[in-house]
Amino acid sequence: MPGPMSGNTRNSLREADRLLAAGKKKQASELLYRLLDNETNAEARIEAKVRLGQLQLTGQYAGEGEALLASAARGLPHPQAQKAAWLLALHRIANHRPLEAMPLLAGLDRHLGPESGAWDKLLEVLFANPTPEVAAAFRQALPPPPLGSSHAKRFLELSNAAKPEALESLLMSGALPEFILPFFKLALGDRLQQQGETPRARQLWAEVAALAPEGAGEEERAAWEARLRLRQAPSGETVPVGLLLPLSGRHAALGRNLLHAAQKALNDHPDAPLSLTVADSSDDPGVTRAGMERLLGYGVQAVIGPVFHESAVAAIDIAVSKNIPIMTLNNRTELLGRNSGPEPLVFLNAFLPEQQAEAMAAFATQGRSGRRTAILAPDNTYGKLVARAYSREVTRLGGQVVQEAYFPEGTRDFSPWLKTLTRRPGGATGAAAATPLDFDTLFLPVRAEDARIMVPQTQFFGMQSPEVTLLGTSQWKRPELLAEGTAQLIGVVFCDVDDVAQKRFEESYRAVWREAPNSLAVLAYDSVAILAQLLRDQRSGGPSWRSALVRAGGFRGATGELRITSDGAVRRDYRLFTVDQQGIVPLMTVPAPGGNVGSPGMIPTPAGVVAPPAGGGMDDVLLKPSPRLAVPPAGGGSVPVQLVPGR
């Protein structure tokens, strides 16, 4: 077993990073080659090869760079070997060599699973190059049958972006194994239905459904999915759901944006027996109460919204008194305290900072139960809330928070608090202090602008990668983080929702509504999607669907997997990101506490929304026949207009 990397070697790698960040590629290259010539430690050699390979790929020695990265990639699942495999695969894809990229992606998927994103990239390559040769390479890259739950779900979701002719070509190639053909037929049927070719789509689904009897297990997922598609809700039998949004007042633009997202979710689930009736909440509790009364008068069985805290309190009071489930879009967790019965009536669908803290705690403790961590947070409500959640989760996972400190808002010089964290004996400070730190991760729940200032200061006190990994939240995933380059940020880790899925949602939303979605639009979309998926799978408007809101299977939202916990909070999976010489890059996905989530009945998002005319506003869109949506008149309020999306 090789020993740990020496301090001199780590310093050499840091110096190479510094030279690369400063644009001194020749000096960095010479240093790394010397390290390769003299170093025997396997981990150090992998790290040097990755840096050299990445450097050479962009110059005249691309062939040598590929060889170095290929050699480093053989060290999977080492994190730097993962990076080498990704760099080399993406380079080969960019240079139109998909056949050479696919084995690398297969290796990543084999070692790390679909959460690594390698399976997604494999499918992307396949759908973009639907030739017999690529299909044969895909066959070699496939995991052994049967196709697992996570792989199957991602296949059905990503195939929604494939062209029908590409899917048909791959089906006809004869190069695909039998066990995956049903999934291609499902996907082709989905795409054909979106184009209005419903009879042919149903024929394909019927072929797949016939492959296994009713009640077949997980291994017959394709047949199960096909039967879901073949079942249609009886005409007119829908569950009425209220949508309470700020459609008047100073936040009317936000309300319209959220309404568009909700309508998109409704159209993306055309087989769900769900109808929406919309009412105005403005940002006023009085208007909210009036809107709730109108919705109840129209017989809604659940309510989504409102957004603002005081309005949410007003709406919750009415909903609970009438025994109606309500899913608010506000992030004040004390709202969940209004649940008192055996089943929750109040649900919270928001971006909760506590969940991000828990995701970072999972990273800080992964692999070893004795991980020691420290916290430096702002001395305000947010900072203390997130720090408490992080500390609680670290302890639950078997780790230990050994230091924590809080600085006043507006601080620019963080050295007094960093010095406190180091606990250097004899007053020693700075890089010369030799005493090891008693933690190996430091959680910094601060804004990107503050993180950019803090990171160089942490390094002065010896808190630098790889001895100490700096951890952040989604606030770090902003352009401001890299405003002064990447050199001192290399190796930091922070979380955010899946950026690939989020970008896909934003592009789809923009294509339909010709405007960018507000950051809260995801919440409105997800709330409708949760109820739509649940009702589609339950096929019932009785009490059973309400009980099933808190279900182990979970749901699929605009940016990834969703799960509702027993207290009524909607939880999301978060993806980890790091910084390398090129900028912000993904690491892995951290599932929400409670394990893997996802509905086995996930149907890919269809593109069946009617786009508004250029320059058209909300009224232009809502005049289109859009079946299960009841919308308010121009003056606000709500009306029982039954508009139900075409099938």
pLDDT at 583: 86
Is the separation of the CB atoms in 159 and 123 below 8 Å? yes
**Contact (CB, 8 A) for 119 and 151:** yes
Mean pLDDT of successive 10-residue stretches along the chain, which has 647 residues: 70 84 84 88 89 83 90 88 90 92 91 84 91 91 78 79 87 88 89 76 88 60 79 63 94 94 88 88 94 92 95 95 93 85 85 92 73 92 94 91 92 90 56 62 94 90 81 92 84 87 87 89 95 75 58 78 86 88 76 39 25 28 41 43 31
Nearest-angstrom CA–CA distance, 511 and 579:
31
pLDDT of residue 386: 95
- Concatenated DSSP letters for 202-256? HHHHHHHHTTS-TT--GGGHHHHHHHHHH--PPTT--EEEEEEE--SGGGHHHHH
Label residues 393-409 b or e (16+ Cβ within 10 Å = b).
Answer: bbeebebbbebbbebee
Q: Is 328 helix (H, G, I), strand (E, B) or coil?
A: strand
pLDDT over 90, % of the chain: 34
Report pLDDT for 169.
Answer: 92
Contacts of the segment 94-98: beta carbons below 8 A, 24+ positions apart: 98/125, 98/128, 98/129, 98/134, 98/137
Q: In this structure, what DSSP letter does residue 423 have?
A: -
Residue 135: per-residue pLDDT: 92
Q: What pLDDT score does 617 carry?
A: 30
Q: What is the pLDDT, as a whole number, of residue 449? A: 92
Q: How far apart are CA 453 and CA 467, in angstroms?
A: 20
**Per-residue confidence (pLDDT) for residue 89, from 0 to 100:** 92
Question: What are the phi and psi torsion angles at 410 (to 5°)?
Answer: 85, 0
pLDDT of 436 reads 65
pLDDT value, residue 375: 95
Q: What are the structural domains, with CATH classification, of the chain?
A: 7-186 (1.25.40)
Ramachandran class of 3: left when φ > 0, alpha when ψ lies in -120 to 50, beta otherwise = beta
CB-based contact 295:638 (threshold 8 Å): yes
pLDDT at 642: 34
SS (H, E, C) 542-590: CHHHHHCCCCCCCEEECCEEEEECCCCEEEECEEEEEEECCEEEEEEEE
CA pair distance 157, 505, nearest whole angstrom = 12
**369-to-28, 386, 387, 401 alpha-carbon distances in Å:** 37, 21, 19, 12
3-class state of residue 346 by DSSP: strand
Tell me how far apart the alpha carbons of residues 403 and 423 are, in angstroms, rounded to a whole number. Answer: 9
Tokens describing residue 17:
């990073």
Single-letter amino acid, residue 416: P
Write the CB contacts of 539 (distance below 8 Å, at least 6 apart in sequence): 231, 233, 273
The string over 439-454, giving b where at least 16 C-beta atoms fall within 10 Å of a residue's C-beta and e elsewhere, is bbbbbbbbbbebbbeb
pLDDT digits (tens, 9 = 90+) for 462-480: 887 677 889 999 999 988 8
